[in-house]
């Protein structure tokens, strides 16, 4: 014990060093404070008097040992919007560490992105997927739409006359809508005011469209140095950077199509929207990272996600296989067992499993009439003996042609044909029940109808029923990312321009006269009807 104490006692040299460092910090502090004050004052002036309470609120909150929930939320908002910022990472680290953990029940202390405001210039699917996610986590998402038209998907694939399509409603929950003609001089003024009061601008226009509106990164950054400008484009810098891109183009250009489908068929696109929704997901992560970095640096940055890159990232294992090809055939691909030679590029692998455990889709009872009476079956090595027993082939456990994984690779087709003779005697759910008893990895092919009716998905909020004022009730997919202290509720999508006046009044603090002036200029289009809720 005595030994430990001696060890921990600082040497005289260390004490002297620390004292000198402290002295230096104390000397430097006033200059730094002055800088911070000046920047804050400038920012407040730019934003108008509504924000002038920010720094005093922060000071008050600091003097209270445990701030009230409302005050804490206020402080959080001012932090993300550019109120008085702490001086250094070390300072913030200390501040966060000294804040006592919330005592509120889980999920009752706001949401993860409370206080973050998004200027949502997105349309169609990729961008809206991203901003919908951010909205589910609590961000205030203000969707800017063209007057009278809106996001083109409002009218695409319409199922109910005169109502927003499911395409639109299912990608724009929890957002507010404002209509602005971004090319009208008054509209530009409103947009610039929004740029000043938001944290992130998200857009997925065709290359150059944002710049043609006058919103270059340099201009945005001048208006609001803390603004994060996040974009989805089809391609990154390079020969195709000016091209417009939709989902399937991205699937083809990102490597998914060339590796999907059967060996003897053409390239195939998948139903999962990996180009649009997948890229939206990537972008959301980039935005959250940029917000986190901004806490330290105080400045915004550009976030770019190219759809080609997003798809390629999801096809990473196929690029893995491309490089493995140099060292011989890909033995887990069933073409190996069928003696079909490999070419120069990663081939299409049908339903082969992408990992080291061979798998295939097998028919189940009723497959003749039900297109989804199938099960995915994985011959995972650790449960091979159980598989042999279940399918009535106990002799395979010791047969040298079947007992070990490498011996099985050349005969995968024959093995799966044998297993299929067993699965065809069971429904996909019966097979699932039996196989799960032995921990044999498998999964039924579920139709959209079955998923829509699945009770457990309703309970977790993954499938949600929403009521909409013009289209009635519909199902949607809720937030698939579950946070235990930031609970997601799904609110219906906005009607076109539904929140135009509210945003001018409450966010931009325009007075009645100014609102009337902008409205009469034609920059906002026709006054939108309010939802009959
Ligand atoms: N006020 C005035 N004009 C507006 C406006 C507003 N509020 N909102 C949009 N516009 C204008 C744009 O300024 C642009 O005009 P200019 O071309 O004259 O500058 C115009 O509307 C059309 O924008 P766009 O070119 O982005 O739209 P598009 O329908 O021709 O192309 C798409 C759609 C998706 C192919 C293209 O936006 C794109 O490639 N985006 C990037 C990749 C992407 O996200 N693709 C996924 C789409 S989801 O499948």
Would you say the CB of residue 142 lies under 6 angstroms from ligand 1? no
> Which pLDDT band, with edges at 50, 70 and 90, does 353 fall under?
confident
* CA 244–ligand 1 middle distance (angstroms): 9
Q: Which atom of ligand 1 is closest in space to residue 183's alpha carbon?
A: 2
| Smallest CA separation from ligand 1 atom 5, residue | 146
Q: What is the pLDDT of residue 468?
A: 97
Q: How far does residue 497's CA lie from ligand 1's centre (Å)? A: 18
Closest protein CA for atom 26 of ligand 1: 205
E-state strands within 317-422: 359-363, 374-378
Summarize the confidence of residues 45-61 as an average pLDDT. Answer: 34
DSSP-derived letter for residue 506 is I
Does residue 143 have its Cβ closer than 6 Å to ligand 1?
no
The region of weakest confidence among 229-238, 361-370, 446-455, 524-533 is: 524-533
Q: Which residues are catalytic?
A: 276
Torsion of CA 331, 337, 338, 342, to 10 degrees: 10
Of 29 and 216, the one with more pLDDT: 216
Pairwise pLDDT comparison (322 vs 20), residue with the higher score:
322
Q: Note the residue count of the chain.
A: 533
| Bridge partners of residue 143, in order along the sequence | 120, 177
Q: How far apart are CA 229 and CA 222, in angstroms?
A: 12
E-strand stretches of 388-470:
442-444, 463-468
DSSP letters along 37-59, please? HHHHHHHHHHH-GGGTTHHHHHH
Q: Are 73 and 115 in contact (CB under 8 A)?
A: yes
**Per-residue confidence (pLDDT) for residue 75, from 0 to 100:** 36
- The predicted pLDDT at position 94 comes to 52
**Protein residue with its CA nearest to atom 30 in ligand 1:** 206
465 pLDDT higher than 70? yes
pLDDT, residue 530, reads: 42
pLDDT computed for residue 15 by the predictor? 38
pLDDT (0 to 100) of residue 8: 33
Burial 435-470 (b: 16+ CB within 10 A, else e): beeeebbbebbeeeeeeeeeeebeeebbbbebebee
Best of 153, 170, 205 for a ligand 1 pocket test (most atoms within 8 Å of beta carbon): 205
For 45, counting Cβ atoms within 10 Å of its Cβ (0-12 exposed, 13-18 middle, 19+ buried), the class is: exposed
In the reported structure, the alpha carbon of residue 316 is separated from the centroid of ligand 1 by a whole-number distance in angstroms of 29
pLDDT exceeds cutoff 80 at 158: yes
**CA-derived radius of gyration, the chain:** 29
pLDDT at 299 over 80: yes
Average pLDDT of the residues in 391-406: 97
| 289 CB near ligand 1 (under 6 Å) | no
Q: What is the atom index within ligand 1 of the atom nearest the CA of 181?
A: 1
Whether 333 and 318 have beta carbons less than 8 Å apart is answered as no
Q: How confident is the model at residue 95 (pLDDT cuts 50, 70, 90)?
A: low
CA of 190 to the centre of ligand 1 (A): 20
Q: Does residue 357 contact residue 365 with C-beta atoms inside 8 Å?
A: no
pLDDT tens profile 442-451: 999 999 999 9
Q: Is 13 a residue whose pLDDT tops 60?
A: no
Given a cut of 80, whether residue 246 has pLDDT beyond it is yes
Cβ(205) – ligand 1 distance below 6 Å: yes
Mean pLDDT score of the chain:
85
* Of residues 281, 300, 423, the one with CA closest to residue 360: 423
Atom 6 in ligand 1: residue holding the nearest Cα: 146
Find, among 357, 251, 351, 267, the residue nearest to 307 by Cα.
Answer: 251
pLDDT in tens, 105-131: 999 999 999 999 999 999 999 999 999
pLDDT digits (tens, 9 = 90+) for 425-444: 999 999 999 999 999 999 99
pLDDT in the model for residue 531:
41
Residue 400 has pLDDT above 60, yes or no: yes
Q: In testing the pocket of ligand 1, which one of 145, 195, 206 has its CB within 8 Å of the most ligand atoms?
A: 206
Residue-wise over 154-168: b if at least 16 C-beta within 10 A, else e?
beeebeeeebbbbbb
């Amino acid at each position: 014990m005595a030994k430990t104490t001696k060890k921990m006692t600082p040497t005289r040299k260390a004490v002297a060093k620390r004292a000198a460092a402290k002295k230096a910090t104390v000397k430097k502090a006033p200059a730094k404070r002055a800088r911070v004050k000046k920047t804050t004052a400038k920012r407040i002036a730019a934003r108008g008097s509504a924000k002038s309470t920010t720094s005093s609120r922060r000071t008050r909150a600091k003097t209270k040992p445990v701030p009230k929930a409302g005050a804490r939320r206020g402080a959080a908002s001012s932090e993300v919007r550019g109120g008085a910022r702490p001086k250094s990472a070390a300072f913030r680290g200390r501040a966060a560490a000294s804040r006592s953990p919330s005592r509120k029940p889980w999920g009752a202390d706001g949401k993860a992105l409370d206080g973050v405001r998004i200027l949502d210039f997105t349309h169609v699917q990729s961008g809206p997927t991203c901003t919908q996610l951010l909205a589910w986590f609590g961000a205030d998402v203000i969707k800017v739409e063209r007057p009278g038209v809106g996001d083109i998907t409002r009218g695409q694939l319409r199922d109910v006359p005169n109502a927003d399509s499911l395409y639109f409603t299912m990608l724009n929950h929890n957002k507010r809508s404002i209509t602005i003609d971004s090319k009208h001089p008054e509209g530009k003024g409103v947009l610039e005011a929004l740029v000043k009061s938001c944290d992130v601008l998200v857009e997925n226009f065709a290359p150059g469209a944002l710049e043609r509106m006058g919103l270059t990164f340099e201009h945005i950054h001048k208006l609001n140095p803390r603004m994060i400008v996040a974009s989805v484009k089809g391609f990154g810098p390079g020969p195709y950077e000016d091209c417009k891109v939709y989902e399937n183009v991205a699937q083809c250009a990102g490597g998914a199509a060339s590796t999907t489908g059967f060996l003897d068929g053409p390239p195939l696109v998948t139903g999962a929207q990996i180009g649009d929704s997948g890229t939206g997901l990537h972008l959301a992560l980039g935005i959250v990272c940029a917000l986190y970095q901004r806490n330290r640096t105080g400045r915004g940055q550009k976030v770019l996600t190219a759809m080609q890159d997003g798809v390629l990232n999801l096809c990473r294992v196929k690029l893995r296989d491309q490089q493995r090809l140099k060292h011989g055939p890909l033995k887990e691909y069933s073409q190996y067992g069928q003696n079909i030679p490999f070419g120069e590029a990663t081939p299409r692998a049908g339903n082969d499993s992408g990992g080291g455990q061979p798998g295939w889709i097998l028919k189940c009872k009723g497959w003749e009439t039900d297109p989804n009476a199938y099960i995915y079956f994985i011959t995972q090595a650790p449960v091979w003996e159980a598989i042999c027993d279940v399918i009535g082939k106990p002799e395979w456990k010791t047969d040298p042609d079947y007992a070990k994984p490498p011996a099985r690779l050349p005969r995968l087709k024959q093995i799966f044909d044998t297993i299929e003779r067993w699965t065809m005697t069971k429904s996909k759910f019966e097979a699932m029940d039996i196989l799960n008893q032995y921990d044999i990895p498998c999964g039924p092919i579920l139709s959209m109808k079955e998923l829509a009716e699945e009770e457990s998905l309703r309970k977790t909020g993954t499938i949600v029923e929403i009521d909409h004022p013009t289209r009635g009730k519909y199902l949607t997919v809720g937030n698939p990312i579950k946070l235990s202290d930031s609970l997601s509720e799904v609110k219906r999508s906005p009607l076109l321009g539904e929140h135009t006046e509210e945003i001018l009044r409450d966010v931009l603090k325009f007075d009645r006269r100014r609102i009337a002036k902008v409205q009469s200029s034609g920059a906002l289009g026709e006054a939108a009807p309010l939802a009959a809720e």
